[in-house]
Amino acid sequence: MRVSQNELQAKTDRYLFNYDTKFNKDIICGSKGLYVYTASGHKVLDWISGQMSYLLGHGHPEIVKVIADHAASLDHLFSGKVSSPVISLGERLCNLLPPGLDKAFFLSTGGESNEAAIKMAKVYTEKFEIVGLGASWHGVTAQALGLQYHFSRKGQGPLMPGMLALPPPNTYRSIFRCADGSYDWEAEMEYCWRMVNMQSCGSLAACIVECIQSSVGMHVLPTGYFAAVKRQCENRGMLLIVDEAQTGVGRYGDLVAINHEGVVPDILTLSKTIGNGLPLSAVVTSAMIEHVCTERDYCFYTTHVNDPLPGAVADKVLEIVVCDGLAEHWRDMGKLLHEGLSKLKEKYGCIGDVRGRGLMAGVEIVESRETQTPALALGKAVGDRAYELGLWANLSSHPSFGGIFRIAPPITLSKEYSWYHASAILRTRNQDM
């Protein structure tokens, strides 16, 4: 049933607070599978999985059943109680992760899980300085926000003390180059950690890293980067926290992206994908870290910690991903996606770079490959035209990382959709915009 787009837009303008985003002009009134449906009747392929979260697609029938069952029989509890769905989730998750990630608890958002992880590292090490990569996105709670260096820092006075920045790895744009022009990330890392040493007051507790820096345009950390960061942390008595909000639970091509690198972090955080769109996140660490933190009265007690309904959903998500071999499916679909996008890059000079891994991809639109100048207006025109044709891929528009399409489709993507709709993003280049 259609409703008045103009009426809903007017109510949006009157009643909804602007939290620093320009709302899309179309009001969404429904979703199913790969698609969302607007109030005006437009059917749009959702190639970013909601907020990079709908791992199994919108309205997956098994997930819908779990939600309905637990809404009727076991939805929410006092935070000091534990339930069978949460015990099952903890068992399943820890058994799927490498040894050393043995204990888990569950919260609501990625920012909340990162806040809990940072506090855990501080309590365990009894130090307070945290290192993060510039261009990261870890959330908007106090400590997580302090580790974001390109966005959402203004207008609130001093942020959390002890937050230090490493420049973000950027294969496409970094000034650190070998003689042959290739990216010299090892020289960059050594230089950056020397800068950390100069800034530190001697209380380095942890470093937090994403496997793919999605918000800044899907930048994949170079092969070997995690092992090198782990060594830097160990040399300083720091913990390594890995934030897998978007890469976790198979989208990367492995169940968790760190498996691809062969590195076990001290603390792992998951969110977005593990709840298939429901607000759920996880903090996973070692039994040793849990023991020490418990002795030192670590506390992260929230209203919705270990809630049974979202816990049951996450347990079902993991069951489906493992039993149906979906991580392997993602790997195959990701290969097809990146092959298609690379063909588009060969054809269109406005594509400066195609990057990513698994079913995560970034397509950077530039004025020319020689200057690498972001083409913000062209990127918007391409994105608008693709949306008219029924495809939604998020275009980063912030000046610090603009002109980049971020692609992260649900696992229900098929071969037919992969190439056809990848082509749709940029085949409109020769049309009037």
129, 184, 243, 315: the active-site residue? 243
Cα–Cα distance measured from residue 223 to residue 200, given in angstroms and rounded to the nearest whole number:
27
112, 122, 137, 230: the active-site residue? 137
Question: Could you give the angle at the alpha carbon of 374 between the alpha carbons of 370 and 376, nearest 5°?
Answer: 145
Burial class (CB within 10 angstroms; exposed 0-12, middle 13-18, buried 19+) of 378: middle
Burial class (CB within 10 angstroms; exposed 0-12, middle 13-18, buried 19+) of 346: exposed
Closest Cα partner for 155 from 163, 165, 164, 145?
Answer: 145
272, 331, 355, 429: the active-site residue? 272
Active-site residue, 406 included: yes
The whole-angstrom distance between residue 180's C-alpha and the CA centroid of its chain comes to 32
184, 210, 261, 315: the active-site residue? 210
316, 331, 406, 429: the active-site residue? 406
Q: Quick count: other Cβ atoms within 10 Å of Cβ 303?
A: 9
Cα torsion for 385, 391, 392, 396, to the nearest 10°?
-50
Active-site residue, 272 included: yes
Question: Would residue 414 be called left, alpha or beta, if left means φ above 0 and alpha means ψ between -120 and 50 degrees?
Answer: beta
Token pair of 290, please?
Answer: 């849990």
246, 266, 307, 315: the active-site residue? 246
Cα–Cα distance measured from residue 59 to residue 31, given in angstroms and rounded to the nearest whole number:
7
Closest Cα partner for 270 from 251, 288, 294?
Answer: 251
Cα–Cα distance measured from residue 190 to residue 202, given in angstroms and rounded to the nearest whole number:
18
Active-site residue, 243 included: yes
Which residues does the annotation mark as catalytic?
137, 210, 243, 246, 272, 406
